[in-house]
Structures are given as structure tokens and as C-alpha cells.
Copies of this chain bind each other. A is one copy, B any other.
Amino acid sequence: MSAAIPTDDRGLLLGDGLFETILFKAGRPVLWDAHLRRLAGACAVMGLAEPDRERLAEAAAMALAASGLDRARAAVRLSWTAGAGGRGLERPPKPEPRLIAAAAASSRPESAAVLALSAIRRNESSPASRLKTLSYLDNVLARRDARAAGADEALMLNSRGELAGCAAANLFWLADSRLFTPALECGVLDGIMRAQVMAVAPALGLETVEIRAGVRALDGADAVFITNSLIGLRQAMRLDGRDLRSDGRVGALAAALDAVI
């Protein structure tokens, strides 16, 4: 947790590390425990020691205070790199992870999202496709292409051609009075807000189905929306120039989410 890190850090050299982005409202974290649980699980997959929870809380608080955002809506990013050294791809025998914390102002988008289908697929064969890692270049490039196409966000399929999600958000759609979202095995981040949507849906009479489905599944959808910890729920209004339908139940889901978070 410093303003500079040594250039032999594996997070920098190889993208060997993890991160979490946590919403803070007036200095208080939203769904903190869920973020820390996910980070701990990701450390196990990556073979990295878990960070100490108190240390994470302190680092987040210090970053918030330093940014002057402790009374605002802020995104705190905690990065957990694999630390220094090793020979080429291989880590040292006992990696010593490094913590970096930073806070930035975070506002919610005011309009519905315009999506563009990315040519870059999610690589569901890699554990990294289900984690927030420091190797996020595919998402950077997918987003760049989407912006160049006049869209806000990239819709990504996986290598089997199944819907996976967006460059920085999970995907949902309403159809046949059910809520659908790509299954984690499709190369999908186990999103904190994704889980929240699934938790509030039953109270609105909506069953959620985690599914392997192609992009054509969106053709008949009553509504499409995307989620992440910072934007919450954001309706999608267009995909590759084609209008998507909207449905009042999306607003009801958003309101239910706001009540929880």
C-alpha cells in the first residue's frame, strides 16, 4: 500500500495477481465481506497467500482518507500481487504478495448501456476467466473495440460461442418470465452484484437460471441488463445497433437491489 512499487513485481511483469473493486458510500463499504470472501477464494485458486482482513480494511480506509473521498461515493481498488521475483514465469518458492490500495470517485451511469459484440472471446479453459486478475488485457481490448464502435461496453462470448458477460460486468436477460445469466463455467466472473440479483429475484417472482446459451438467446429477451459492484444494475438498450426491449421488472429489480446495498 504505497504510491510506488518495485519494478520486479510479478503483478507488473506478468499480470500475476488479483484485485477487488469495492463501492464505498460515505466511508462505508458495500458488501465488504462478499468481496473479501471472493478474494480469499481466488487466492486459493492462484496459489497465493490470503491477505489479512484487518490489513485490507486499514488499507482501504487509508486510501479513502488520502483521496478525500471518505464522505463521497467512491470505488476502492485493492490489488494483491504475487510479489517480487522468481525466474521468468515461475514464482519464487515462497511468494510474498504485495497489497496496493487506491480510491477514486465513482458515479453511476445515467443512461442505459449500448453494447457491441466483441470478437475477443472469454477463455473459459483458464481459471483466470472466473477471477478478477491483473491480466485484464482482453477486457481492455474488448472495451476499446466497443468504444470505437460507438458502444459503452463489450458483450463477450466464450470460446464455445456461449454468452459469457461484458468486459467489466455480468450479464442478465429476462425471458419467459424467468431471469437468465451465463453459468460460471462459461468463463464468467462470480460477480458480487450478480449474486445479489439472484438473491433478490425470488421476491419478485423471478426464478434465475444459470445457463449455457448462444447470443441468439438475447433476440427474444424481454429485457437485458448488466451488473457490477460500482454501477449496480444497468439496463442495456441496444446491441450492435439493434434495440433491446425493456421491461418494468428490471426497474423493480434495481429498486430491490438498492434497498439491499
Question: A125 at interface (Cβ–Cβ under 8 A)?
Answer: yes
A44 at interface, CB cutoff 8 A: no
* Closest A-B pairs by Cβ, 4 of them: A159-B159, A15-B15, A135-B135, A135-B137
Tell whether A89 pairs with B128 under 8 Å between CB atoms, given A19-B13, A135-B15: no
Chain A residues engaging chain B, CB cutoff 8 angstroms:
2-16, 19, 46-47, 77, 79, 81, 88-91, 100, 102, 119-121, 123, 125-128, 133-141, 143-144, 147, 159-160, 167-168
Other than the known A15-B140, A121-B123, A123-B123, what 12 A-B pairs have Cβ atoms closer than 8 Å? A4-B5, A12-B12, A13-B136, A14-B134, A15-B137, A16-B140, A47-B144, A91-B144, A121-B125, A121-B126, A126-B141, A133-B137
- How distant is A182 from chain B, measured CB to nearest CB, in Å? 17
* Bound complex: CA A90 to CA B168 (Å): 11
Whether A159 lies near B15 (C-beta < 8 A) is no
- Cβ contacts under 8 Å, A11 to chain B: 12
What would 13 A/B residue contacts be, using CB atoms closer than 8 Å?
Answer: A7-B100, A10-B140, A15-B133, A15-B135, A15-B140, A16-B136, A46-B141, A90-B147, A91-B144, A120-B125, A123-B123, A134-B137, A135-B136
Taking the closest CB of chain B, its distance from the CB of A152, in whole angstroms, is: 10
Partner pick for A16 among B4, B125, B137, CB 8 A cutoff: B137
CB-nearest residue of chain B to A123: B123
User: In the complex the two chains form, what is the Cα distance from A168 to B140 in whole Å?
Assistant: 23
Measured in the bound complex, the distance between the Cα atoms of B140 and A126 in whole Å is 11
Q: Which residues of B contact A133 (CB under 8 A)?
A: 15, 137
A144 CB → nearest B CB, Å: 7
Contact with A12, one of B5, B88, B128 (Cβ below 8 angstroms): B5
